[in-house]
Amino acid sequence: MKILNFLSLFSTYLLAESLNIEDNAGQFFSSGHTNNWAVLVCTSRFWFNYRHVANTLSVYRSVKRLGIPDSHIVLMLADDMACNHRNPKPATVFSHKNMELNVYGDDVEVDYRGYEVTVENFLRVLTGRLPPSTPRSKRLLSDDRSNILIYLTGHGGNGFLKFQDSEEISNVELADAFEQMWQKRRYNELLFIIDTCQGASMYERFYSPNLMALASSQVGEDSLSHQPDLAIGVHLMDRYTFYLLEFLEDIHPASKTNMNDLFKVCPKSQCVSTPGHRTDLFLRDPGSVLITDFFGSVRKVEITMETINLTNPIEQLEENAVNGELQKEMHSYADQLPVSEIIHQKPKQKDWHPPDGFILGLWTLILLVFFKTYGVRHLKHIF
């Protein structure tokens, strides 16, 4: 009798496990996409728009960390803040004050830079209507199984977004470009995020299916800057993207966080503006859409029946060239400093740089005091 009860419990356990595996597999394949792409665009030039470059690079850093490779990212930066002569820390772009987090890194691949960032080039990238000579790195080679993240930041108004203060794209043009993408089977699902003033006006005219949109502000509202830095002399980020970055730092490739959690990023108490979102064109329930469906990348999976312990150091067999015998060499993953510690650590004293013109102003003050005290005839004592 006990044996029968045991067999019954064991069979029930196996059935529950099989159902759990089927549920997980069903959730894994529910999105229907096989690859991920990202188009990240900063539309602003000039040093005082430093924050827009930092916004874009922050999202770029997050999607790369979550698995989208550079080959599937189209990065468009209208200005090169890292090499700007006013940058006290060359080859860096910081997203947190006191230079705590460098989002430029050492492996940034910019596909369109400077005057290449135009409305025409942006629309050509989306629709695939590029000249035959265009290299693969500048193309959006997506298909009907691609989930695409499109992020825009810059200066805008009611129904338009400016490109480099010389031209603009309207919400109608953007909506028509997305419809062309759908008709040409260039995406499976599309997530559109924009951080600009009156950002919600940019998705009002969308009419293509399987499209979800988020904006940092409603019509009639401004998107505000954040994180002023005295050494650099400008604001480092916009509020919405700053809190979006903090949200993404807690996401990992196996995270179960969904889009409903993303909608709660930067409430009005933090953003001052009112973030908005639109989901009526999206076919799936946002609660079932994982963040990694857009910010991460689909990985190739190898199925094995063997048990693999991922917590212990990895053992690798290498052949000894001297004795010809096999030796076991222990390898382990390097410990990484948590991002929460990076962005909250205090800057070192040597990292501080005086603002632009500080040294020149100091010398001017010294010379004025000297002339006031001794006159021009004693100028030879200085030189």
Q: In this structure, what DSSP letter does residue 382 have?
A: T
Q: How is the chain split among helix, strand and coil, in percent rounded to 5?
A: 40, 20, 45
Q: How far apart are CA 87 and CA 299, in angstroms?
A: 38
Q: How far apart are CA 50 and CA 137, in angstroms?
A: 25
Strand ranges (E), 282-325: 314-319
Q: How would you label 49-87 residue by residue, b for 16+ Cβ within 10 Å and e otherwise?
A: bbbbbbbbbbbbbbbbbbbbeeebbbbbbbbebbeeeeb
Strand ranges (E), 73-222: 73-77, 112-113, 146-153, 156-157, 160-163, 167-170, 189-195, 211-215
CA angle, corner 207, sides to 205 and 211, nearest 5?
A: 105
Q: How deeply is 306 buried, as exposed, middle or buried, from its count of CB atoms within 10 A (0-12, 13-18, 19+)?
A: exposed
Q: How far apart are CA 375 and CA 1, in angstroms?
A: 113
Tokens at residue 377, please?
């005839």
> Which of 33, 52, 72, 155 is flagged as catalytic?
155
Q: How far apart are CA 280 and CA 207, in angstroms?
A: 10
Tokens at residue 160, please?
């338009």
Is residue 72 annotated as a catalytic residue, yes or no? no
Tokens at residue 15, please?
């059935």
Element (H, E) at 171: helix 171-183
Q: How deeply is 346 buried, as exposed, middle or buried, from its count of CB atoms within 10 A (0-12, 13-18, 19+)?
A: exposed
Is residue 155 annotated as a catalytic residue, yes or no? yes
> Which of 33, 52, 96, 197 is flagged as catalytic?
197
Q: How far apart are CA 188 and CA 41, in angstroms?
A: 21
Residues annotated as catalytic are 155, 197
